[in-house]
Structure formats: C-alpha cells, structure tokens
Structure 1
C-alpha cells in the first residue's frame, strides 16, 4: 500500500530541523515524522513545507489543558517583524539547503510539481504559516516569491497586522472576532495577482468570509477538519465548506488528534474510523474532487497509527477497507491537490 503516492497539504519539518542541525539533520531517522527512509517506506512524494515562527508557549501546559472536557487557550502574543524575519530566513535557508543536498525540489508551478513528484526527490511547495515577516506595504513578497514562496497563510493562531487567528478552543466555532485589516485586504489582492495561494486554515471566521468576498481564486484550507464531526475552533463549519465548494477550492484533512476527535482532546488514541468520518463529511459537502490530506506532521500530536510518513500505508488501507475505490483514493492522495494548485497558480 505504498501507492498512490501522497502529496500532503502541510508539514512543519523546517521548524523541527531549526533545532535539529538544519538541513543536515534531515537524513537522520527517528527524530520526527519525515525523513528519507520513512518517505520511501510510506510512499510520501512531497507536500507543502511550512515556514513557521515559533511562539513562546508552555507546550506542556498547553497539552495538559487540552485533555479537559473543554478548554480555551489564550492566543500567543503578536511576533515582532524583525524576530519573524530572522526565523523565516533561517527556515527558508533550511529549505534551500535540503534542495542543494538533493532531498527535495522546490516547485514553483504546476509543471515543475508534476515533474518532481515521483522522482528521486520530494516535491516541495514553500509555504509560510503566519505572515509576520511581511510589512504593510507588502514589499517582502517579491523577494519571497523569487525564492519560491507559492502558498501563504495570513495568520497562524495569533494576531498579525493582516488579521486574526483562531485560538485552541473547544468547543467553539471560529467566529471569535474581527476579520481582515486593511493591510490584510491588500495582501489578498496582491497574492491573487502574483499567484500565491492563500491558506485559510488558521483564519478566524470573519477573516475567512473576507477572503471569500475579496479573492478571485479557489478557497483553500490546507490542514483543517469538519466542525460537524469535531466542534473545535480550528475546524470548518458546513457553511464554510459550502463556500469552498462553490469556489472550486479544497480542504486537506488534518491529522492533529484534537481536531479529529469529537471530544476535542489532544490524545493519540484515535482510530482510523474517526479519520474516515471526517473524510465522509468533507466529501459529502465538497465533492470527491475537493478533498485531500494536510497532515500537520512534525507540528502536532497525531494518531498512533500514523506517527510518521512511513505509516501512511495504514491510511490507504483504511480508505480501501472503508469502501473508497482506487480512483477516489488517488484523488485524495494527490490528484486533487494538483487540480486546485493548477487553478490557484494560473
């Protein structure tokens, strides 16, 4: 079950390597969810490689709080642009180092994506999760685009000058505050113009609807789940899913346990049946051509049966056992990502 190859909507490998020896640490197995050996074992062909600026958060306290029947984690403070720029440059250098070492190819259009996928290198989209390193005049976008940026989330789960993210809150919708700022609206227009895909996964609901109103591109949430199955602030309501379908967009299923489990708890005892419930709901609202995978590997606690990309055969097997046919499995594994990226970058 190593086929069809999987193209994944989100991973945090670059942030992990920031504290693991940089690009040279990638070839050392056992330190995280993605390494060359596990990729070969699991049929992992590439995905969106996120650049993320860490927050000063007590991870242990966060994990403990997310074991409760309900929780409301405070949003981290806004990151200063200088600090964000340093972190983005460091992680971008790691991505470029991985390319120099022959581990991956940074793809810049749909043709280079198709050419790299299934080769001896991973196909990598440069994605920034949270636009703190970009100023209100958007001047940094040109340089980032030249270095490969093709996907951008205006916010992570904290405020930026462009808008507001959703907190780690359960139970809750994402309707927790105001939408995009004037700078955020300019960012949407500029990304549309340049062909940089906007990722809506961490935007609050008001920001989501602002993008839906302003953008001429497909609406995409690279790593989000169904609120109807797990009523977490990070998940998408049926109304949001319907808007994504109307735009001919896409949602990537997030493997993070708290966003999968109906009880919202950050525990890894999650059966494949729960992932199938989310896929069934997403397919029911979006159709078979608008759903894929967005694992959040190396950035979240994931189910026991999917600890690394080497475990991805378990997911393919679960899809088949659930009754998904070969054509649908191929769409979920990579074909739908290729379809929406072709539209987003055109």
Structure 2
C-alpha cells in the first residue's frame, strides 16, 4: 500500500471521517482545530478555527455542505464546509463527546459528559439548511447514575431511516433509544469494558464496536444480535467494516500513558486486517508511533498526531479470500443416538 503522511495536527488524533463521496477526509485532534484533506493526495484544504477544547467527534452531511464538531469546550459547532465559517454554536452543559447527522441532514444528535450536578445527556436538535437555528432541544434524554455510578455515553449513531439512536457506553453497554420520545427500547451488554467506538457499514445493515476488552464485535442493528468477534492482544480504539471487501480493519495499541516508555514494535501500533466471516487475522500495516485512535477504510489517526492515508494497491484489490476446503466444509461431527 502507498501511504500519505498527513502532517497538520500538533496533538493526538481523536477521530477521522470521510465524506459520503469519499473524496475528502475530515480529522479532529486534541489541538482544537479540525482539518479537511483531499483524499487522493493528502493535500490539506483548510481548517475550522474556533473551539477552545479538544474536538472529540465530527460528522459531515450527505452533500458535504455542513460539518458538525463536538468538543470538550461544551459546545457543538456547525460549520460551512466550503469556507470554514462557523454558522452556529450549540451550547451544552458538559463536554460534548459525540455528534451524528440524521439521514436527510435536517436533525442531528449529540452526547455529552456529566458536569457538576448535570448528568450525561443525549440531545436531538433541528438543523434545517435554510432557516433559523437555535440551541433549544427537540428532545433531551437524561442518563442518570446506575447503582450510584455515572455511566457515560462514548458514541452515538442513527440507525437506518432514522428509526432509532444507537448509543455506546463506557460500561460496555449498547442502548437503543426512540429519537422522538426518548424511550429506551432495548439494551445489551456487548462488552466487558468501555466501548471506544461504534461504526456502521455504508448501508447500515451491520455495525461494529471497538472495546478496551481487547475485542471488536460485529452486530445486526435490527435486533442487536451479536454475529462475530475479532480478538486482539491489545485495547481496540476503533474498527471499520471495509466497503471494498469482506474485511474488518482494527486499530488500537498499548495505553497512551505508557507510550513514551516503549517502542512502536512493543506497543503494537498497527492496523490489523481480519476476515469478516471467518474472524481470522491475515495481515497488518505498521507506521504509527502511538496507539491508533481512529481508522476508516483506509486511513488511520494516532496518538502521534499523524494521519496516515493509504491507497490500496492492485495486489490487495485482486486478492481472493481463502475459503474452507470442500471436504472440511462437508465434514459433520457425529451425533449421539
């Protein structure tokens, strides 16, 4: 693979996302300034200046006209993609951890951390392209303590046709909320530890989780059925379902607090490739000097402050995935009578 090293951020990368058409890449980091890059050559096209805290998440609308950013400065900001102009500031009561456009780009949802006496919250806002904007909630869901402990949301996504809000939590739970009423519709214990990220495939028929329990899991969004598990020997910070092949790309690494005491080889800072169906690892790509905090198909952003943009070569695109031998597939274990 031919990598481009995108050097523009001064602090660790928190998230990266391609726009719908795949020709632009948006990145956010702890340096407060989100950036946009050209996906074919890694050229930085511009920045979005205004936040006063770490930018934890971002999301671009369907036609790449407006960008949403979620920040530790307790705001979510709406930007004009073409010029970098800040169109509106949506104020929150605590650090904003995640943001996601609804399909149609007329609404969006945010999740915020607890702050002082305020609990974690999910908020849904109206955001018409042509019309007055306010930071009044369309709907707000309060997330109270469970067993005396605060359980914080880590990631939020809309399911297909905006039917539900899918929210991941730091206790390993996934919950499904009604975006109109705020009612909790379903919850599952997906992981033993914190879920760092939750991502859908392009048509929202599958989603994948990344967890500090060293696993990444594939789920059916209709019934939250667990389908596959991809096991590693390190915390998983992000994972993505490839839109080119039946592959899963997993990124993570040793805890960031210990990075300065070990080499990249020991810290295991590579993106690992798994076969989606058979769950086996078949390859990896190295290059980062810190834990990979974000990956998309295929770009990666890490604690070292760099975004690595890879272009798949012909060998990978032409590669045929191995399948079980026919005699093994037909072999059936004996059953007791």
TM-score range, shorter chain: 0.3 to 0.5
Q: TM-score, normalised by structure 2?
A: 0.35
Q: TM-score, normalised by structure 1?
A: 0.35
Whichever structure has more strand as a proportion of its residues is: 2
Task: State the structure with bigger RCO (CA 8 A, min sep 6), 1 or 2.
Answer: 1
Whichever structure has more helix as a proportion of its residues is: 1
